[in-house]
Structure 1
Amino acid sequence: MKEAKRMRVLVAEHADASRAEIVRLIESDPGLRVVGAVRDGQAAVDFLLAQKADVALLDVHLPRLDGFEATRRIMASTPLPIVVCSGVSNAADATIAFRALEAGALACVEKPVGGGDALRARMAHLLQTVRLMSEVKVVRRRREPGPPRPAGRAAAAPRVVGIGASTGGPPVLQAILHALPRDFAAPLLIVQHISPGFLHSMASWLGETSGMPIHIAAHGTVPLPGHAYLAPDDFHMGVDAGGRIVLSREPPENHVRPAVSFLFRTMAQYSGPGAIGVLLTGMGRDGAEELRRMRDAGATTIAQDEESSAVHGMAGAAIALGAAGQVLPAERIVPALLALVTGGP
Structure 2
Amino acid sequence: MNELRKIRVLLAEDSRSQREAISWVIGNAPYLELVGEAANGAEAVDMVEQLQPDIVLMDCHMPVMDGIEATRVIMGRCPVPIVVTSATFDVNDVHPGLEALHEGALAIVPKPLDPAAENFDRLAEELCLTLKLMADVKVVRRLPPRRSAANPRPPRETAERPADRPAPVREAREIRIVAVGASTGGPPVVLDILRRLGPRLDVPMLLVQHMSPGFIVGFASWLTRGSGLPVEVAAANVVAAPGRVYVAPEGHHLGIDRRGRLTLDDGPPENGFRPSVSCLFRSVADAFGREALAILLTGMGQDGAEGLAYVGQKGGVTAAQDKDSSVVFGMPAAAIRMGAAQRVLAPPDIAKFVVAQLARRRHLS
* Farther off after superposition, 173-182 or 156-165: 156-165
1:286 match = 303
Give CA-to-partner distance per residue, 1:117-156, whole Å, 9 cap, x none.
3111111110010000133121443764979xxxxxxxx9
Q: Give the distance between the partners of 1:3 and 1:324, measured in 2 at CA.
A: 33
Q: 1:92 to 1:275 in 2, by over 3 A?
A: closer
1:73 match = 73
CA shift, 1:80, in A, is: 1.0
1:16 match = 16
Root mean square deviation of aligned Cα: 2.2
Paired residues for 1:1-345 under 5 Å = 4-90=4-90, 95-114=95-114, 115-141=116-142, 144=145, 157-343=174-360
- The answer on whether the counterparts of 1:87 and 1:93 sit within 8 Å (CA) in structure 2 is no
Give the SS at the match of 2:198: coil
Q: Give the distance between the partners of 1:268 and 1:92, measured in 2 at CA.
A: 32
Q: Give the distance between the partners of 2:25 and 2:93, measured in 1 at CA.
A: 22
* Farther off after superposition, 14-23 or 159-168: 14-23
- The answer on whether the counterparts of 2:181 and 2:296 sit within 8 Å (CA) in structure 1 is yes
CA shift, 1:72, in A, is: 0.8
- The answer on whether the counterparts of 2:294 and 2:319 sit within 8 Å (CA) in structure 1 is yes
Q: Give the distance between the partners of 1:216 and 1:42, measured in 2 at CA.
A: 36
Q: Give the distance between the partners of 1:272 and 1:91, measured in 2 at CA.
A: 35
Letter of the structure 2 residue corresponding to residue 338 of structure 1: V
1:153 match = none
Q: Give the distance between the partners of 1:92 and 1:39, measured in 2 at CA.
A: 28
* Farther off after superposition, 211-220 or 3-12: 3-12
Q: Give the distance between the partners of 1:88 and 1:130, measured in 2 at CA.
A: 20
* Farther off after superposition, 335-344 or 123-132: 335-344
Query: What's the TM-score once normalised by structure 1's chain length?
Result: 0.92
Give the SS at the match of 1:117: coil
* Farther off after superposition, 160-169 or 328-337: 328-337
Q: Give the distance between the partners of 1:140 and 1:213, measured in 2 at CA.
A: 32
Q: Give the distance between the partners of 1:138 and 1:186, measured in 2 at CA.
A: 34
Q: Give the distance between the partners of 1:36 and 1:181, measured in 2 at CA.
A: 44
Letter of the structure 2 residue corresponding to residue 14 of structure 1: D
The unaligned stretches of length 5 or more in structure 2 are: 149-172
Give the SS at the match of 1:180: helix
* Farther off after superposition, 250-259 or 138-147: 138-147
Give CA-to-partner distance per residue, 1:5-40, whole Å, 9 cap, x none.
221111001111211221221122222111111111
Give the SS at the match of 2:264: strand
- The answer on whether the counterparts of 1:303 and 1:319 sit within 8 Å (CA) in structure 2 is yes
Q: Give the distance between the partners of 1:91 and 1:242, measured in 2 at CA.
A: 31
Q: Give the distance between the partners of 1:143 and 1:262, measured in 2 at CA.
A: 37
Query: What's the TM-score once normalised by structure 2's chain length?
Result: 0.87
Alignment length (residue pairs): 336
Letter of the structure 1 residue corresponding to residue 295 of structure 2: V
Q: 1:146 to 1:96 in 2, by over 3 A?
A: farther
CA shift, 1:48, in A, is: 1.5
* Farther off after superposition, 32-41 or 131-140: 131-140
Letter of the structure 1 residue corresponding to residue 89 of structure 2: S
- The answer on whether the counterparts of 2:94 and 2:222 sit within 8 Å (CA) in structure 1 is no
* Farther off after superposition, 169-178 or 81-90: 81-90
Greater RCO between the two (CA within 8 Å, min separation 6)?
2
Q: 1:92 to 1:252 in 2, by over 3 A?
A: closer
Q: 1:81 to 1:93 in 2, by over 3 A?
A: farther
User: Identity over the aligned pairs, expressed in percent?
Assistant: 43
Q: Give the distance between the partners of 2:209 and 2:239, measured in 1 at CA.
A: 20
